[in-house]
Chain A
Amino acid sequence: MRFSRHRSTRLLGRLCFYAYCSLSYIFLLSPIVVVIATSLNGPSSTSEASFKFPPENLSLHWYWNIPSAQLEALGLSFGLALVSAIFACLLGVPAALGLVRSNLPGKALIAAVFRAPLQIPSIVTGIALLQLFYVIGDATGFYWQGTLLGLAIGHIFVATPFVVGTVTAILQRFDRRLEEAAVIHGATPWRALRRVTIPVIMPGVYAGALYAFMVSFGDVPIAIFLTAPGFVTYPVEIFYALENDFDPSLMASATLVIFICLLALLVVQKAVGLDALLKSGGTGSTR
């Protein structure tokens, strides 16, 4: 078969395609490039000179001047994100199993409740939790704001829907005959769940856990209400630093985080693959 279209037209189409792709990449990557480049400025007397782009007097000077408070906050954020991701899975996986497998009346309503944290603006969630913690504190004498417990509750609240979403998506494609094959060949329902169902839906769990981790790690609006002096997450610490003492060490610490995240993604990709993450596309709806 012979195409009547001219070669030049096809070339033009191809150029447009490449241009479009390039622009997309520039749009997505340029802020990161600016941050990384700016962090490499050398020391100078005036503050404007420290933020030159492209950088002058390339050096790692600012990396040695990252305030220890930021590093401590970074440690807290990692720990918190890890705890949030784990608990989001412990809540989200059984929830997804129940939503997909059971014939509960009002299943749609329950699914909506599990999605609700995504539909409430985080700032509202933050205020609501703070208020709740005051009430609980007044009643019991234990105030949860400014504690790991209080922060974790807030982050688990917003992170769990992501796990429910990815696991629901993968469960809906799950071939029930795998479980039948397990059961007919001697497995108890519990063994079938442990040896077949859970391993097969694991990519969805990993994907959801990664989302949960990122949601917790990047959160400002909730954490800003629930942190206390001396107990601050990384994004909130950065937020304060921007307001108070803004210098390129901020860029240095941000660059550090970018590379840590990149490394983490590579490890996850190597270990479980990110295909599941991309395919499950965040919060799938329950049928």
Chain B
Amino acid sequence: MSGVVLKGVTKKYGPITALRTMDLRIEEGEFITLLGPSGCGQTTTLRLIAGFIDPTSGQILLGEDDITDLPPRKREIGMVFQDYALFPHLTIKENVAFPLRERKSDPSKIDQRVSELLDLVRLPGVESRYPSELSGGQAQRIAVARAVAYPPRVLLMDEPLGALDLKLRETMQIELRRIQQELRITTVFVTHDQTEAMTMSDRIVVMNDGRIEQIGTAEEIYDHPVNAFVADFVGRINLFDGVLVGRDQDQSVVEIFGGVRVKVAGSPSEEEKKLCIGIRPENLELLPSDVGATQANVINGTVVGRTFSGNLVDFYVEVGNNQPVLVEVPAARRSFEVGDKVQIVWGAEAGVVLGAD
């Protein structure tokens, strides 16, 4: 097992740049997720590590070894594909044994290894079936078993859960994480589902338009996004464009909506005048308009929409002529109707300052 290092890796397709000088160090045994909208370069990164495509420039290291020019079969990598890519004409046993046979394992030990692997993915006894006889979740487990059969130095997963329904996807997230922890295997996981990324990963690499926007743990990225793209892509957030108008101790005073002044903890490093502040909808609170508010920031508005999702209620509150502000309230709390006049209140520490786009 080994870590993976990308050194200034660039991939161009003619005039189109799919990946811009990517530098990334993946630690040994780490579960790292490349997260971003489809086509942002995450799959390109994965295919570069696999060796299906060659970088235009840069270097890829596996442990201490430079694998940039090595063909895929010599990289000792395991991979789980979108839609699994199980061999339809081979039985489950032959599918799982494929890497063992191709990598010349001792034939007398193959049967035992296959049954160990099926135990690992908790699907024993399916050796003689064919992939078409498996459900999506089962096929997924077999794809994992095949990928780790001949212990790979790195495990790559390309949106492996995309084809499953929500309930199964949640189960498989936990299963994949368990298997990864059991084997302590370096894993690179690609997804565009931020919940998936947050529940499974040690670290998340948020990517956009062929470059890395931010690298960090789920908490770091959720609580301290470095820019509006990350804040918006990971979780839900209200973004307000504003102008820095002053300082109040360690707080910044920002004018938004062309006149409303709000306070935000911290201050932009440079003297940027234009900036963007982001506030997660669960950090906002709603009060009736006739109650005196004690929080640092108060804006008056009107409820223009509400959606109920079981444990939560989303309120859309219109403030002036701007895009409605999203406020997330636990369903048990007091409720408002569409048309009610309300106050949106929040503390200065609830918002984050982001650079303007």
A: residues with CB less than 8 A from B are 175, 177-178, 180-188, 191, 195-196, 199-200, 202
Residue in A183, A184, A191 whose beta carbon sits within 8 Å of that of B78 in the complex: A184
Check A187–B102 contact: CB distance below 8 A: yes
Known: A180-B72, A185-B78. Contact between A191 and B85, CB under 8 A? Answer: no
Check A180–B73 contact: CB distance below 8 A: no
Give the shortest distance, in Å, between B108 (CB) and chain A (any CB).
Answer: 19
**Cβ-based interface call for B130 (8 A):** no
Give the shortest distance, in Å, between A78 (CB) and chain B (any CB).
Answer: 29
Q: Which of A185, A188, A195, A196 has the most CB of B within 10 A?
A: A185
Nearest residue in A to B74 (C-beta to C-beta)?
Answer: A186
B: residues with CB less than 8 A from A are 50-52, 71-73, 75, 77-79, 81-83, 85-89, 98-99, 102-103, 146-147, 149-150
Query: Could you list 27 examples of A-B contacts with CB < 8 Å?
Result: A175-B83, A175-B85, A177-B81, A177-B83, A177-B85, A178-B88, A180-B72, A181-B81, A182-B87, A182-B102, A183-B52, A183-B71, A184-B51, A184-B52, A184-B72, A184-B75, A185-B102, A185-B103, A185-B146, A185-B147, A185-B150, A186-B99, A191-B102, A195-B87, A195-B98, A196-B87, A200-B89
How far is it, in angstroms, between the C-alpha of A199 and the C-alpha of B146 when the chains are bound? 19
Known: A200-B88, A200-B89. Contact between A181 and B79, CB under 8 A? Answer: yes
Q: Which residues of A contact B73 (CB under 8 A)?
A: 183-188
Excluding A178-B87, A180-B85, 13 further A-B contacts by CB distance (< 8 Å) are: A175-B85, A178-B88, A181-B86, A181-B87, A184-B77, A185-B73, A185-B98, A185-B99, A185-B149, A188-B73, A191-B102, A200-B87, A202-B89
Give the shortest distance, in Å, between A64 (CB) and chain B (any CB).
Answer: 47
List the 8 closest A-B pairs by CB distance, nearest first: A186-B102, A185-B99, A177-B85, A186-B103, A181-B85, A199-B89, A187-B102, A183-B72
Q: Which residues of B contact A183 (CB under 8 A)?
A: 52, 71-73
Q: Which of B50, B71, B82, B87 has the most CB of A within 10 A?
A: B87
Nearest residue in A to B88 (C-beta to C-beta)?
Answer: A200
Nearest residue in B to A187 (C-beta to C-beta)?
Answer: B102
Q: Which residues of A contact B103 (CB under 8 A)?
A: 185-186
Give the shortest distance, in Å, between A167 (CB) and chain B (any CB).
Answer: 16
Q: Which residues of A contact B75 (CB under 8 A)?
A: 184
Check A184–B88 contact: CB distance below 8 A: no
Check A182–B83 contact: CB distance below 8 A: no
Nearest residue in B to A202 (C-beta to C-beta)?
Answer: B89
Give the shortest distance, in Å, between A60 (CB) and chain B (any CB).
Answer: 45
Known: A180-B81, A199-B89. Contact between A186 and B50, CB under 8 A? Answer: no
How far is it, in angstroms, between the C-alpha of A196 and the C-alpha of B50 when the chains are bound? 19
How far is it, in angstroms, between the C-alpha of A188 and the C-alpha of B51 when the chains are bound? 13
Q: Which residues of B contact A184 (CB under 8 A)?
A: 50-52, 72-73, 75, 77-79
Give the shortest distance, in Å, between B325 (CB) and chain A (any CB).
Answer: 43
Q: Which residues of B contact A177 (CB under 8 A)?
A: 81-83, 85
Q: Which residues of A contact B72 (CB under 8 A)?
A: 180, 183-184
How far is it, in angstroms, between the C-alpha of A81 and the C-alpha of B47 when the chains are bound? 46
Q: Which residues of A contact B50 (CB under 8 A)?
A: 180, 184
How far is it, in angstroms, between the C-alpha of A186 and the C-alpha of B97 when the chains are bound? 11
Q: Which residues of B contact A196 (CB under 8 A)?
A: 87
Q: Which residues of A contact B146 (CB under 8 A)?
A: 181, 185
How far is it, in angstroms, between the C-alpha of A136 and the C-alpha of B87 when the chains are bound? 48
Q: Which residues of A contact B77 (CB under 8 A)?
A: 184
Q: Which residues of A contact B150 (CB under 8 A)?
A: 185-186
Q: Which residues of A contact B88 (CB under 8 A)?
A: 178, 200
How far is it, in angstroms, between the C-alpha of A195 and the C-alpha of B147 when the chains are bound? 17
How far is it, in angstroms, between the C-alpha of A81 and the C-alpha of B99 when the chains are bound? 40
Give the shortest distance, in Å, between A66 (CB) and chain B (any CB).
Answer: 43
How far is it, in angstroms, between the C-alpha of A188 and the C-alpha of B50 when the chains are bound? 15
Nearest residue in A to B52 (C-beta to C-beta)?
Answer: A180
How far is it, in angstroms, between the C-alpha of A30 and the C-alpha of B86 when the chains are bound? 47
How far is it, in angstroms, between the C-alpha of A182 and the C-alpha of B147 when the chains are bound? 11
Give the shortest distance, in Å, between B55 (CB) and chain A (any CB).
Answer: 17
Known: A183-B72, A185-B146. Contact between A178 and B85, CB under 8 A? Answer: yes
How far is it, in angstroms, between the C-alpha of A175 and the C-alpha of B149 when the chains are bound? 22
How far is it, in angstroms, between the C-alpha of A177 and the C-alpha of B80 when the chains are bound? 10
Give the shortest distance, in Å, between A207 (CB) and chain B (any CB).
Answer: 16
How far is it, in angstroms, between the C-alpha of A186 and the C-alpha of B102 when the chains are bound? 5
Q: Which of B83, B85, B99, B103 has the most CB of A within 10 A?
A: B85
Give the shortest distance, in Å, between A242 (CB) and chain B (any CB).
Answer: 46
Q: Which residues of A contact B78 (CB under 8 A)?
A: 184-185
Check A182–B89 contact: CB distance below 8 A: no
How far is it, in angstroms, between the C-alpha of A276 and the C-alpha of B223 when the chains are bound? 55
Q: Which residues of A contact B87 (CB under 8 A)?
A: 178, 181-182, 195-196, 200
How far is it, in angstroms, between the C-alpha of A114 and the C-alpha of B102 when the chains are bound? 36
How far is it, in angstroms, between the C-alpha of A24 and the C-alpha of B102 when the chains are bound? 53
Give the shortest distance, in Å, between A279 (CB) and chain B (any CB).
Answer: 15
Q: Which residues of A contact B85 (CB under 8 A)?
A: 175, 177-178, 180-181
Give the shortest distance, in Å, between B57 (CB) and chain A (any CB).
Answer: 23
How far is it, in angstroms, between the C-alpha of A183 and the C-alpha of B86 when the chains are bound? 13
Q: Which of A183, A186, A196 has the most CB of B within 10 A?
A: A186
How far is it, in angstroms, between the C-alpha of A182 and the C-alpha of B89 when the chains are bound? 13
Give the shortest distance, in Å, between B111 (CB) and chain A (any CB).
Answer: 18
Nearest residue in A to B51 (C-beta to C-beta)?
Answer: A184
Give the shortest distance, in Å, between B98 (CB) and chain A (any CB).
Answer: 6
Q: Which residues of B contact A175 (CB under 8 A)?
A: 83, 85
Q: Which residues of B contact A185 (CB under 8 A)?
A: 73, 78-79, 98-99, 102-103, 146-147, 149-150
How far is it, in angstroms, between the C-alpha of A223 and the C-alpha of B120 when the chains are bound? 63
How far is it, in angstroms, between the C-alpha of A186 and the C-alpha of B76 when the chains are bound? 7
How far is it, in angstroms, between the C-alpha of A184 and the C-alpha of B73 when the chains are bound? 5
